[in-house]
Structure 1
Amino acid sequence: ILSDLSASADSKVVVLTVNSLGNAQTYLDVIQSNVDLFRGIIPAISHYSQNTVLLVASHPVEVMTYVSWKLSAFPKSRVIGVGANLDTERFQYILTNLLKAEVLAKDAWIIGEHGEDKVPSWTSCNLVANQTEAMAARNSREKVANRAMEILKGKGQRSWSVGLSVADLTDSILKDKRKVHSVSTLAKGCCNINSEVFLSLPCILGTNGVIEMVKLEEDPLVQEKLQSSAGSIHDLQQQLKL
């Protein structure tokens, strides 16, 4: 389809998996090569499928989702990166099946930057009687989460598992499932982030992309990590030629 983008006409979802195979020497060169590819692809896709949802799986996913958003001029809701959807599914599986912490798993998410800087977070908190119990509950949860993260980081990412994750996201969009996924979305305005960067956050997905961002439990350490990731991603984006 790359040689004839008119074949994508009137698509409801367009999945972008292309990555440069050039001989770039530095990390910035590799990303710029991907940007150059997208400069030739995104405007054509936007022309042929003006109401589509762009689902970006190219790396680095946060930056390439931002690039897709800028080049397409689509609303932010219709440009999504695969983000931490796969990591979240694995994290929830580890909590439920390996660590037997099913109560924690249903509200657990991996958010932030894809890769080593991802962080666990929660969409709700069980209410307890007093501050001492609250602190004990938080400490217990953090121990379980840390163990789950250790297991998660020990697992690689097979191409087929990434493909299943992309299929899962596409299914939620096409069937308007209103299901929550941790995907790369515009994070400006969240957690005191003021720059135009995309980070993985739990979002409800439907036929028009992101319907709503799900509110996370407030955690200063998590917010600090998100702000740090946003800063490094923004600095990298400033060096790219769009």
Structure 2
Amino acid sequence: MIQNPNAKVILVGDGSVGSSFAFAMTLKGLGRELGIIDVNTRKAQGDAMDLTAALTYNSAKTIYAAEYSDCSDADIVVLTAGAPQKPGETRLDLVHKNLAIVKDVVEQIMESGFNGIFLVAANPVDILTYAVLKISGFPKERVISSGTSLDSARFCDEIARYLELDPRDVSASIMGEHGDTSFPLWSQASIGGRHIDEWLADKTDDIEAAKKKIYTDVRDKAYHIIDAKGATYYGVATVLAKICHIIIEDSHSIITVGAYLEGEYGCEDIYMGTPVVLSRSGIQKVIEVPLNEKEQEQMQISYKALKEVQDQGMAKLGF
């Protein structure tokens, strides 16, 4: 596929995640233009100058501290703005303060005439992405959540570490909420055409114990990182750059992101992590993966937990 050389990306939120994303986009040489918006204008200006220096060893691009009016002709707006997750705090604890931030940001973006794709990464990402959908009035295909893309990357990595294989060869996903009610899609996980159970059986006599350890390490990794260094940002920044790459390249790639569900998996009017086909026009298709009985139960647990908080939060916004 041929990359769109004229792609314009606007980043809103130049914190740890945002600045790491901008760096990843610069190293990948994606698009012609990257604008950075932040309440701290000086920080955005400083990062733009710093990133511009890196262009000597990469492709040509314009990087600058942007204003909301610059969103008017952007192809993608990436939202990372929001209060950070603190030690001991769940992603859902962030909902009320970050909904107010997202409402203000999206209204200003829409005033510019923006008509591209929203990619949301601020937490709790499933609920905030739903808010972006409602506030913007955009079609569901053009409002995308990073969802469980990072969780799925971590899942593949932990499986590969356990089996001493290359994580790029692992096909496995985490689905549901990007948070504590997420769940591993063991029934569909495979490597090199073999089901994951066959690989685990070569390594251990207790497959279920191995699965439990792998998933626990995936689920709790964010909390360990936050406890150690205060925040997570490199992993999600790289995943966001990958999603942008797919959109800019129009590659129709399959990737696990947060997508709006309208009955898939028995879930309605909500964003949840699921594999999709992604292209330059957004989500082309939600892939409704076959779930076994346990996985379907886990999907419903995740759905109900998110829906309750979502309804409470959106009611405060007047929706």
Scaled by the length of structure 1, the TM-score of the pair is: 0.81
Which of 170, 187, 196 pairs up with 2:269? 196
Match of 2:12 in 1: none
The residue identity in structure 2 corresponding to 1:214 is I
Match of 2:291 in 1: 218
Instruction: Report the CA distance shift for 1:74/1:214 in structure 2 as closer, same or farther (over 3 A).
Output: same
Confirm whether residue 120 of structure 1 aligns to residue 194 of structure 2.
no
Structure 1, unaligned stretches of length 5 or more? 127-133
Which of 208, 211, 225 pairs up with 1:145? 211
Query: Any conservation in 1 of the 2:247–2:280 contact (CA below 8 Å)?
Result: yes
Confirm whether residue 159 of structure 1 aligns to residue 233 of structure 2.
yes
Match of 2:171 in 1: 107
Deviation at 1:13, TM superposition (A): 0.7
The residue identity in structure 1 corresponding to 2:311 is Q
Which of 119, 127, 137 pairs up with 1:63? 127
Instruction: Report the CA distance shift for 1:11/1:119 in structure 2 as closer, same or farther (over 3 A).
Output: same
Match of 1:130 in 2: none
Give the Cα–Cα distance (whole angstroms) in 2 for the partners of residues 186 and 58 of structure 1. 16
Give the Cα–Cα distance (whole angstroms) in 2 for the partners of residues 98 and 56 of structure 1. 31
Deviation at 1:165, TM superposition (A): 1.5
Give the Cα–Cα distance (whole angstroms) in 1 for the partners of residues 285 and 209 of structure 2. 30
Confirm whether residue 45 of structure 1 aligns to residue 109 of structure 2.
yes
Give the Cα–Cα distance (whole angstroms) in 1 for the partners of residues 254 and 114 of structure 2. 25
Instruction: Report the CA distance shift for 1:123/1:222 in structure 2 as closer, same or farther (over 3 A).
Output: closer
Structure 2, unaligned stretches of length 5 or more? 1-36, 40-66, 85-89, 202-206, 226-231
After superposition, what is the alpha-carbon deviation per residue over 1:83-129, rounded to whole angstroms, capped at 9, x for unaligned?
111121121122234324779x6431011111222111158488xxx
After superposition, what is the alpha-carbon deviation per residue over 1:189-233, rounded to whole angstroms, capped at 9, x for unaligned?
11112x311111011111111111223132111111111221121
Query: Any conservation in 2 of the 1:123–1:214 contact (CA below 8 Å)?
Result: no
Give the Cα–Cα distance (whole angstroms) in 2 for the partners of residues 138 and 218 of structure 1. 20
Instruction: Report the CA distance shift for 1:34/1:201 in structure 2 as closer, same or farther (over 3 A).
Output: same
Instruction: Report the CA distance shift for 1:94/1:2 in structure 2 as closer, same or farther (over 3 A).
Output: closer
Out of 154-163 and 181-190, give the one that drifted further: 154-163
Query: Any conservation in 2 of the 1:123–1:216 contact (CA below 8 Å)?
Result: no
State the number of aligned residues.
229
Give the Cα–Cα distance (whole angstroms) in 1 for the partners of residues 247 and 213 of structure 2. 32
Q: Secondary structure at the match of 1:155?
A: helix
More helix per residue: 1 or 2? 2
Query: Any conservation in 1 of the 2:106–2:136 contact (CA below 8 Å)?
Result: yes
Of structures 1 and 2, the one with the larger relative CO (CA 8 A, separation 6+) is 1
The residue identity in structure 1 corresponding to 2:219 is K
Query: Any conservation in 1 of the 2:71–2:114 contact (CA below 8 Å)?
Result: no
Confirm whether residue 15 of structure 1 aligns to residue 78 of structure 2.
yes
Q: Percent identity?
A: 27
